[in-house]
Amino acid sequence: MKVLVINAGSSSLKYQLMVPDTREVLAKGLCERIGIDGHLKHQPTDKDVFDADIDLPNHEAAIKEVLNLLTHNHYGVIADVSEIDAVGHRVVHGGEDFTQSVVIDEKVIKGIEDCIPLAPLHNPANITGIRACQDVMPNTPMVGVFDTAFHQTIPPKGYMYALPYRYYTENKVRRYGFHGTSHDYVSKRAAELCGRPIEELRLVSCHLGNGASTCAIQYGKSIDTSMGLTPTDGLPMGTRSGAIDPSITEYISRVRGYSPERVAGVLNKESGMLGLSGVSSDFRDLEKAAEEGNERAELAMDIFCYKVTKRIGSGAAAMGGIDGVIFTAGVGENAPTIREKIMEGLEFMGLYIDKEKNKTRDEAIVSTDDSPGIIFVIPTNEELMIALDTERLLKD
């Protein structure tokens, strides 16, 4: 089966055409500046790359161009669009209605629409991507894979906020969590790597990218995660504050005269590593600045690592023990010094990092041979997970 994986943003669209069975990627690419002017980078495996400004007035036009390139006589990887058996769509918010991936029909689209208040930037773009594919490939089955679905196993004591209960029943205020497809993928992969059934493992997965979250995965199921109603909760991130005293928002708006929207903008776009360091949201820049003696860059990374360390501890407490820690995403996969710093002091929980093995950027076990707990580095692959779910649902 050939599956086209689509991740549609408000002005961008990432895609990958793959064979989930064999894990083979036939082509991948990115449309950017949709509705503004347009740019498309198409990377077919073992073929020339197409990388050019191209008119992309809307998402339908972008999908049409992608299909043109996939079937192109020079840049193409398939002879005809009919070779695409299914489309798998990444959808950010599935609320409480979607506890797993689903075959998309009108009822599902309505359900995704109902979650727009919870993800006003992301869900409309996801729906636009689905509608564009429906227009261009009306007979191809489609599946929706939700960032929130994996966390629907979190029990009420993990997802309820201590607010008036009616905010939950009337306004859907609760912890949902995100990065679920990534946490799901890396935990399954960790079990394969260490050759133990996932039903026996208590893992804390650390997805550390521009956005960052941890997830306590007990016997294959998410039981707690650091992101909340929105992705602003939990760890400090590139530009997001993470968890703070909630009264800071009211205080800042009073002493600075900011509107609620302005405060939200500060928490999401001006805080985190960028706000603390004043240098950058990117860990590569922070590491460089710290090496050159920039104390605020060093402080920003210290704070980040400290918060991740504490989250690993809280995950272990939630699960009554810990068998492994997983590092994934941009920082988790590529920054050995950050991993080392996070694991410093966790030896008391039986987690010993091997500094030599930890120099890797590839999939590996980086704990010492006699460490009771296993430390994994696992490059995430959300596209593969989406393709596998799409295949699984359409085969039945």
Q: Are 144 and 113 in contact (CB under 8 A)?
A: no
Contacts of 82 (CB under 8 A, 6+ apart): none
From the list 315, 304, 308, 312, the residue with the least C-alpha distance to 158 is 315
Block residue for tokens 């076990």? 365
Residues in the chain: 396
| Torsion of the alpha carbons at 226, 202, 182 and 145, rounded to the nearest 10 | -90
Take residue 142 and report the two structure tokens written for it: 């489609």
Nearer to ligand ADP (CB atom), residue 129 or residue 336 = 336
The interface region with ligand ADP, picked from 9-17, 167-175, 209-217, 264-272 by CB under 6 A, is 209-217
* Number of Cβ within a 10 Å radius of residue 76: 18
Which CB, 126 or 134, lies closer to ligand ADP?
Answer: 126
Q: Based on CB atoms, which residue is closest to ligand ADP, 90 or 174?
A: 90
Residue 180 as a binder of ligand ADP (CB under 6 A): the answer is no
Dig out the tokens for 295 from the structure.
């104390």
210 binds ligand ADP (CB under 6 A): yes
Query: 218 vs 281, which CB is nearer to ligand ADP?
Result: 281
E strand segments, 253-395: 324-328, 364-365, 374-377
The CA distance from 283 to 290, in Å, is 10
What six digits make up the tokens of 304?
Answer: 């980040």
Per-residue binding letters, 76-105, with ligand ADP (x by CB under 6 A): ------------------------------
Site for ligand ADP contains 335 (CB under 6 A)? yes
The yes or no reply on residue 331 touching ligand ADP (CB under 6 A) is yes
- For residue 169, what are its two tokens? 């029943």
Binding residue (CB under 6 A) for ligand ADP from 95, 129, 180, 209: 209
Report yes or no: 189 and 378 within 8 Å, Cβ to Cβ: yes
- By CB under 6 A, what part of segment 33-62 binds ligand ADP? none
Binds ligand ADP (CB under 6 A): choice among 85, 114, 282, 363: 282
Catalytic, 135? Answer no
Give the one residue of 15, 283, 304, 376 binding ligand ADP; rule: CB under 6 A. Answer: 283
Question: Is residue 334 involved in binding ligand ADP (CB under 6 A)?
Answer: yes
Number of residues that bind ligand ADP (CB under 6 A): 12
When binding is defined by CB under 6 A, the residue of 76, 129, 238, 373 that contacts ligand ADP is 238
Residue nearest to ligand ADP (CB): 330
**3-state DSSP assignment of residue 299:** helix
Catalytic residue among 37, 147, 323, 354: 147
150 touching ligand ADP, by CB under 6 A? no
The tokens describing 283, both together, are 């860990």
∠ CA 291-285-178, rounded to 5°: 125
Query: Which of 111, 231 has the CB closer to ligand ADP?
Result: 231
Piece of the chain touching ligand ADP by CB under 6 A; list 81-89, 166-174, 207-215, 221-229: 207-215
Contact flag: residue 304 with ligand ADP (CB under 6 A):
no
Minimum separation from the CB atom of position 277 to ligand ADP (A): 12
Pairing label, strands 102-103, 142-146: antiparallel
Do residues 181 and 382 lie in contact, with contact meaning Cβ atoms separated by under 8 Å? yes
Residues in contact with ligand ADP by CB under 6 A are: 209-211, 238, 282-284, 329-331, 334-335
Residues labelled as active-site residues = 147
